[in-house]
Structure 1
Amino acid sequence: MTDDPAAGATLAPAMALPFDADSLASPLSTERMTLRPIEPGDSDDIWEYQRLPEVLRYIPWPVRDREEAHVHTLKRAGMRRLAEDGDAFHFVMALRGERSMARVEEYGHRDRVVGDVMLRISSTQHAQLELGWVLHPAFQGRGLAAEATSEVVSFAFEVLNPHRLNAHVDVRNLASAALCRRLGMRLEATLLEDVWDDGWQDSSIYGLLRREWETQRDSSAS
């Protein structure tokens, strides 16, 4: 006899893990952007939106000075492997034709990073990933977040093979809630006062199943 309650249970279909960013043959590409792993040279561009109060209002980042933000970018640039619960990987939104704030003499000419998209393992056992994103407010209203996240959602289901994708959204963040719906995600729950941010705030949980994404993909292709 075993004390393991899961003994004898049928295992869920496994995700395609481990995944290493170095295994990407080429960056993802959309009509206006290149989506690639974060690099150290992206620090100046990321600082331009990471420091803004209107961004920090909805993302659980502390206020950082420029050097602290650079260290944070280096940390995220090193997060290139998905294997266990909590592991995360970030694509930057490099907007083609928009000049980067990075030092040309050190990093060369490059497209400006205007946001990033995160994939994080919520549960390897239950084949679940979490999706997150941030976009510089100066570039909002142009459909860039939808363009980038839609491409990353397709990458997630096609390459990593999760059963479901989740997104956690501050209920005050109406733009992100609208983006979830645009991605075909459904509102599944509202968590009351689960986050302290100058007062207790509520969070919304959105979800998308693999079979739902496949139906959307097939419908758009027909």
Structure 2
Amino acid sequence: MEWTDEGIVIGVRRHGESSAIVELMTREHGRHLGLLRGATSKRHAPLVQPGNVMRAVWRARLEGQLGLYSLEALTARTDLMIRVPHAAFGLSHMASLLHLLAERDPHPGLYEVLAAILGAIEDPDSAGVLLARFELAMLAELGFGLELDACAATGGRNDLVFVSPRTGRAVSEGVFLTQRIFEPRGMKLPDARDSFLSALKREAARASPFRRSHQ
């Protein structure tokens, strides 16, 4: 068995002295794990980091086996994840949500959403809205799509409010995720979500004096 695909690193777990089990969210093969030999080497360690986009070749004798990865970095975001706290917490939260998906179940649309969000998440003014869009996409993939094109009370399509990028209220509540996804599974909303929101607030507080001085 062998395939080649593009994937985003969402988890790395050390295995033995020099190898690691790498978890990718791939475009065509879903959330997929594989063993990477030499993962702790100087060549691989800086590349196999959460958020990085990889060209992945997966090989196994049988389809159900863990298999081996051969990886090549296409886009590196290690510096971003270190430099921008909300980006790291946001990725951690999205990875936690992706763990709700069955392994190896393709979700190409969700992969594209994840890739687009990671490409723009550095901007704190849009990061909250981006994360909310990923949560909505996850809800839809799990069968809980929300109708946001009309007012639930009046049926009207004018003056609709989606998510406020200024207040982040719809992002911070997380009502649908809690009630539809986590509580039925006996789980709590990931801590990374609160950490993401706290990081955004800290960054906004630091930016406020600078913005006022330039008005």
Q: TM bucket by the smaller chain? A: under 0.3
TM-score, normalised relative to structure 1: 0.26
The structure where strand makes up a greater share of residues is 1
TM-score, normalised relative to structure 2: 0.26
The structure where helix makes up a greater share of residues is 2
